[in-house]
Amino acid sequence: MLLSNKTVLTNADLPKIMPIVQEMSSICKANDIPLHVWVGGNGYVAGTLIFTVGYESLTERFNSNAKLIASKEWWEANRKLREYTISIEPDTIYDYVRGGVSGPANPLPLGTFINSTSFQATGTDWLGMLKYLNEYAEMSTKITGVDVNVVHTTVGVLGGVGMFSGYANGEALDAARTKGNASTELMAKFFEGGKFAIAGTVVQRHMIKIA
C-alpha cells in the first residue's frame, strides 16, 4: 500500500483556511478519494498543513488525480488556498513496509494524533535496516499497545524512512510515551537504529487530523 503526502506551509490564518480545507475534503469525498488533512503540531512550522491519501497502487493514484484534474471545483479550491500559502513541498509517496490500513472502510476520526519519527537512511545496509525497523515496531507495539506503521519513500527524495502511530487524543499519546520511556529494552532498541540514519536527519513530529 502507498501513502501520498503533500505538505503546505500557510500563513496560519486558520479561520479563513478551514472552510477551504473543508471544501477540498468534500470534493475528494464526492470522488471517492479518502483525503485526510492534518495540521502540524510539535516539530512543524506553525501553519503547516499535511494532505495524505492512502492508495493500493500508483494506478489508483493516477485515476484519482484524473478525477480532480477534471474538477473545476477542485482547481478553484486550490486557487483560494494559494492566497494563504507560503510554500509547498514536492509531493512524496511512501511505500508501507508495515501497516497501511486506510480508506473509507477504516476512517480516522477528527482529532486523531499522529506521532512520527523519520530519518534519511545511510543506505549501507538497506535490508538490515528494514529488519531492524520491523523488530522495533513489533517491540514498541507489544510494550505500548499501539501499532506502529513503517514506510519508506518510493517517489520523492529516496532513502527517506518513517515510523508513525495514531492516537485518539493527546492523553493516549502521553500514556504510550510513558510506557515506552519506562522500558529500558525499548529505549536500547530505539538507539540501536542510529547506525542506519544519516547524522542530523532524525526528526520526531506530531500532527492532528482536522478534516
CATH number (domain holding residue 194): 3.30.70.100
pLDDT at residue number 100: 79
Q: For residue 83, give the C-alpha cell.
A: 492566497
- Written as tens digits, the pLDDT of the chain (211 aa) is 999 999 999 999 999 999 999 999 999 999 999 999 999 999 999 999 999 999 999 999 999 999 999 999 999 999 999 999 999 999 999 999 999 765 555 678 999 999 999 999 998 999 999 999 999 999 999 999 999 999 999 999 999 999 999 999 999 999 999 999 999 999 999 999 999 999 999 999 999 999 9
pLDDT at residue number 105: 52
Tell whether 88 and 129 lie within a shared domain.
no
> Which residue, of 65, 94, 123, is where some domain finishes?
94
Tell whether 114 and 133 lie within a shared domain.
yes
Tell whether 108 and 200 lie within a shared domain.
yes
Domain around 53 = 2-94
Domain count, the chain: 2
pLDDT at residue number 104: 52
2 contacts 93 by C-beta, under 8 angstroms: yes
> Which residue, of 68, 94, 120, is where some domain finishes?
94
pLDDT at residue number 107: 72
> Which residue, of 50, 65, 94, is where some domain finishes?
94
Q: Beta partners for 53?
A: 4, 35
Tell whether 71 and 102 lie within a shared domain.
no
Tell whether 134 and 147 lie within a shared domain.
yes
Range 108-134 burial, b when 16+ CB lie within 10 A, else e: beeebbbbbbbbbbeeeeeeebbebbe
What are the C-alpha distances in Å from 15 to residues 6, 11, 22, 47, 183? Answer: 21, 11, 12, 12, 42
Tell whether 131 and 166 lie within a shared domain.
yes
Tell whether 150 and 202 lie within a shared domain.
yes
Instruction: Report how far residue 36's alpha carbon sits from residue 106's, in angstroms, rounded to the nearest whole number.
Output: 12
Tell whether 199 and 113 lie within a shared domain.
yes
Tell whether 105 and 199 lie within a shared domain.
yes
49 contacts 39 by C-beta, under 8 angstroms: yes
N-term to C-term CA, the chain: 22
Tell whether 148 and 53 lie within a shared domain.
no
Tell whether 103 and 62 lie within a shared domain.
no
Tell whether 136 and 175 lie within a shared domain.
yes
Which residue intervals of the chain are DSSP H helices?
14-30, 58-69, 72-82, 126-144, 170-181, 184-192
- In this prediction the pTM is 0.92
